[in-house]
Amino acid sequence: MAEVQKMNLNEQAETVAAAMAKIQHRKLTKKKIFQRILLITFGATLMGVGLEIFLVPNKVIDGGITGISIILSYLTGWNLGIFLFILNIPFFFIGYKQIGKTFALSTLYGIIVLSITTTLLHPVPAFTQDILLATIFGGVVLGIGVGIVIRYGGSLDGTEILAILFNKKLPFSVGEIIMFFNLFILGSAGFVFSWDRAMYSLIAYFVAYKTIDITITGLDESKSVWIISDYAMEVGDAIMNRLGRGVTYLHGEGAFSGDDKKVIFCVINRLEEAKLKEIVTEYDQNAFLAVADIAEVRGGRFKKRDIH
């Protein structure tokens, strides 16, 4: 489980880095800029709601700079928004120098919106006093907000930026560095609040993390499929006719047998996976089949063709 979580943290951090890189090389139109501002505003507001309406009133924290801000706010009595802004500002400058202007400005704007939202919502009473409900719903709302901001080119927490920079100097992956930071911060909640609150914080962090992952990749997540079969043409035709998906035939050679092999490559969504496996098994029970998740698909003819 720990290994899987490290891999997923790596993928999430790499998604953030990839989003940063793409933004730098793409000139944005006014429409795209407006869309980005609108969605980052919405995402940062959602995160503020998750914090001030669900988690903070019930003494449950999140990981990263947000978790440190919640602890400092509780210890000092100062407004949470102040710490969210002050502690994240250094990472704005780091992001500006190391990653790019557009990402840095998107991050700064998101942090400002988050700080204002938490300040305005602070007097609002919590939606529920049930600690488990607050933990789960707070994690979901927070995760959706953070995922939207990441998906549209910003960040609401400097931990990812710090981990990417440390990764260049330390023999650890980005995911391992983020995990270390967050375990330390979430563990601190046990000393500041109580150990049951620390355990609830771990649940909130896990729920938020999974929600961020779904929000970034989308519910209609794509999958790449590789099929090696002696009946490749029949299988390929069936995929095109019954799933409406295009296929590409590649030529390969068996390392042991030296025989020529025809390899089928195609991209489907997660809802079509079971049907595709059924098609392959129907034509060739001994076919080699490999399925992998894809974070994003662009270009080509991925759009599904109508089936009559």
pLDDT of residue 255: 74
Residue with tokens 């035709």: 237
List the domain boundaries for the chain: 2-217, 222-294
pLDDT at 112: 95
Tokens of 36: 């980005």
Of 201 and 176, more confident? 201
CB 208 within 8 A of CB 143: yes
- H helices, E strands: number in the chain: 11, 4
Q: What percent of the chain has pLDDT over 90?
A: 44
What is the pLDDT averaged over residues 124-128? 89
The predicted-structure confidence for 191-236, as pLDDT tens digits, reads as follows 999 999 999 999 999 999 889 888 877 655 788 999 999 899 999 9
Greater confidence, 81 or 256? 81
Cα separations in angstroms, 254 against 229, 250, 261, 305: 12, 13, 7, 33
pTM: 0.70
The pLDDT tens digits for 27-79 are 568 888 899 999 999 999 999 999 999 999 999 998 889 999 999 999 999 99
Q: Quick one: which H or E segment has residue 261?
A: strand 260-269
Rounded-to-integer distance, Cα 264 and Cα 250, Å? 6
Asked if 62 contacts 70 with a C-beta cutoff of 8 angstroms, the reply is yes
pLDDT mean over 267-294: 88
* Coil/strand/helix, residue 100: coil
Res. 4: pLDDT tops 50: no
Q: What does the mean pLDDT of the chain come to? A: 83
Question: Any idea which fold 222-294 has?
Answer: Alpha-Beta Plaits (3.30.70)
pLDDT at 8: 54
Residue 295's alpha-carbon distances to 14, 47, 161, 215, in angstroms, are: 11, 23, 20, 11
